[in-house]
Structures are given as C-alpha cells and as structure tokens.
C-alpha cells in the first residue's frame, strides 16, 4: 500500500471541509487532481473513503477508520518538523549591488539551490561601500562589491566585469560614436531607475560630481522596463551592459572610468560556514560547489 503525506493531508482537508471542492482548495490542488488522488487512495485501500450526501461528502466506515490514523501521522510529521527547526542552518546572507542582483545572481542562485535544495539564501541589494562595511561588521556572509570600494580586511576574488552602457533608440543621433559622456546627454530626456535604486543613486552622484543635470522624464521599475522605454524613444537610459544585451537593445559605451567596474566576491577571512563556503565556491566557479566542503 503506497500513499504520501499530500494524500493524507488532502483526506483530512476533505473531511474537515465536508466537500471535495473545499478540501481541494485547502490543499491548494485543482478539483481534478484532488479527485484523482482520492480515487487512487480508495483503489489502494480497496474501499470507498467518502459517500456523497446533499451538502457534500462524509467519511464512510473505512474513512472513519482512516481518519484517526491520518491525524496521528500528520501530527507526528508536524511535531518532527518543529523539533528539527532549531537545528536548521541559518540562511546565507548575500549582499550585492544592483547589477549583480538584476543580472548575475538569478541564474547562479537557481543552479545552486537546485544542487543544494536544503540551503536558503537571503539576498539584499546595497551599495558597494555599504556591503564592505556590512561584511566587516558581520552583518552579511558574502558580498559582491565593486572594485572602487575599500576592501581592506576582506578576502576578495574577481566575480564579473560590470560595464554600464547608454541605451538609445535605433537610428539615434549618437549612434556611430565610439563612446559618449554624461555631458553629451544634458539636453536629452532620461529614463531613470527608481530613486531608491542603488544604481540610480550611484548615477546621480556621478552626475553631480560632473555638474551634469539629467532631466528625468520617467522612472522605470527595473532594467527591462528602462531598456524597453529607451528603445521606444521615451528617453535614454543607463543600465548594465548585460541587461542591454539580454533585452536586445541598442547601446553605446560610456567614456567614464566609473562605467567599467570589476565586481568582487568578498567575505571575511575564516568566517565561512559550510553553506557559505558551498555558495562561495559555486559563485567563484572553482568546481567545488558540490563537494560539501
């Protein structure tokens, strides 16, 4: 006789709801899926578990016999989960800048979590100098930090090259130029990121340093929207090159040192747990992600 905890939990939900529809909803299953699971259980038990009445369903004698045992099994599993909860590893605290969060981390973390389904990761977007400070203070375990930040006292390995580019519509007057500077954009409407965006704050700071006013025409919620709006002619936008390539839009290089950065994967020396080391090795691409070291 084979059935799983989902079957038992569904059986309890149907008993408590008094209807198959209500039980399926509580179990977050479609009605068809729930019906098939109940039928399969009845075949395996060799007896009907529910009988219909005018207001729904109720357990048969066999269903009543199963009810107490099903509650015991589910209750035991819940008690086991509660007993193990204090012993679970804490999530890995990973802080990263906007470019890393939006472009580099999604695929990497998807692959890591598929390989290590028992791990958990808390990702926080922050500016590079704030990440370096958080690492030194022990507020995060790993950080992706641009090379302009103070990395003193941290272990750092190169992670990705992060180039910022200008997105323009096809046929724009700037096309054909090898590179542009912010001063070239003073009269152009600008598609900005949200004011709270770490990357937008970085761009605003650079513009202030250069004495350039970038007239914001619209604020886009993220890289994709910014790329689409700029390509449609709403204004120009500055995004990571990886984003421009991913969304297939026209882009130009920016002639500023701050537009080309090396992102470093950083940690505190000797402070890594097993989960942190596994993630660090996976992100560094040294082939040790699956060693469990």
Position 288 scores a pLDDT of 36
Q: Give, as one character, the DSSP assignment of residue 270.
A: T
Phi, psi of 195 (to 5 degrees): -60, -30
Q: What share of the chain is helix, strand, coil (3-state, %, to 5)?
A: 45, 20, 30
Crossing angle of helices 274-284 and 105-115, in 10° steps, is 130
Determine how many CB atoms are found less than 10 A away from the CB of residue 66. Answer: 20
Mean pLDDT across the stretch 142-160? 88
**Whole-angstrom Cα distance, residue 142 to residue 151?**
13
Distance from chain centroid for Cα 266: 20
Tokens of residue 201, six digits: 């704050």
Tokens of residue 15, six digits: 């008993």
Please provide the average confidence, as pLDDT, over all residues in the chain: 86
Tokens of residue 192, six digits: 């900005």
pLDDT band at 222 (very low <50, low <70, confident <90, very high): confident
- Rounded to two decimals, what is the model's pTM? 0.54
**Whole-angstrom Cα distance, residue 288 to residue 278?**
7
Tokens of residue 197, six digits: 């965006």
All structural domains of the chain: 5-86 (1.10.10.10), 92-161+262-284 (3.40.190.10), 163-259 (3.40.190.10)
Position 123 scores a pLDDT of 94
Position 65 scores a pLDDT of 92
Instruction: Check pLDDT > 80 for residue 153.
Output: yes
Mean pLDDT across the stretch 82-106? 80
Comparing C-alpha atoms, which of 110, 31, 101 is closest to residue 282? 110
pLDDT band at 148 (very low <50, low <70, confident <90, very high): confident
Position 143 scores a pLDDT of 95
- Give the largest CA-CA distance in the chain: 82
Tokens of residue 39, six digits: 């039928």
27-31, 105-109, 217-221: the lowest-pLDDT one: 27-31
Encode pLDDT of 243-265 as tens digits: 898 888 989 999 998 888 889 99
Mean pLDDT across the stretch 34-42? 89
Residue 226, classified by CB atoms within 10 Å of its CB into exposed (0-12), middle (13-18) or buried (19+), is buried
Instruction: Check pLDDT > 80 for residue 99.
Output: no
Tokens of residue 227, six digits: 């790329």
Position 187 scores a pLDDT of 82
């Amino acid at each position: 006789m084979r059935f799983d905890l989902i079957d038992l939990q569904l059986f309890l939900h149907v008993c408590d709801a008094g209807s198959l529809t209500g039980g399926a909803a509580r179990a977050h299953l479609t009605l068809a899926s729930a019906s098939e699971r109940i039928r399969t259980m009845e075949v395996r038990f060799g007896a009907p578990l529910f009988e219909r009445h005018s207001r729904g369903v109720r357990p048969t004698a066999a269903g009543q016999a199963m009810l107490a045992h099903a509650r015991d099994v589910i209750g035991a599993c819940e008690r086991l989960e509660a007993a193990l909860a204090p012993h679970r590893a804490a999530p890995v605290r990973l802080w990263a800048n906007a470019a890393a969060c939006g472009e580099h981390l999604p695929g990497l973390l998807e692959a890591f979590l598929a390989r290590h389904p028992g791990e958990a990761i808390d990702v926080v977007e922050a500016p590079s100098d704030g990440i370096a400070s958080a690492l030194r203070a022990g507020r995060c375990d790993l950080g992706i930090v641009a090379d302009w930040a103070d990395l003193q006292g941290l272990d750092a390995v190169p992670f990705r090259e992060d180039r910022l580019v200008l997105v323009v519509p096809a046929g724009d007057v700037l096309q054909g130029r090898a590179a542009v500077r912010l001063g070239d954009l003073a009269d152009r409407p600008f598609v900005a990121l949200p004011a709270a965006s770490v990357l937008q704050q970085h761009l605003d700071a650079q513009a202030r340093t250069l004495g350039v006013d970038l007239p914001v025409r619209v604020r886009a919620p993220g890289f994709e929207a910014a790329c689409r709006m700029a390509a449609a002619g709403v204004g120009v936008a500055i995004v990571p090159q990886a984003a421009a390539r991913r969304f297939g839009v026209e882009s130009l290089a920016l002639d500023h040192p701050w537009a080309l950065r090396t992102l470093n994967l950083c940690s505190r020396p000797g402070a890594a747990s097993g989960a942190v080391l596994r993630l660090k090795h996976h992100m560094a691409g040294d082939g040790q992600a699956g060693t469990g070291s």
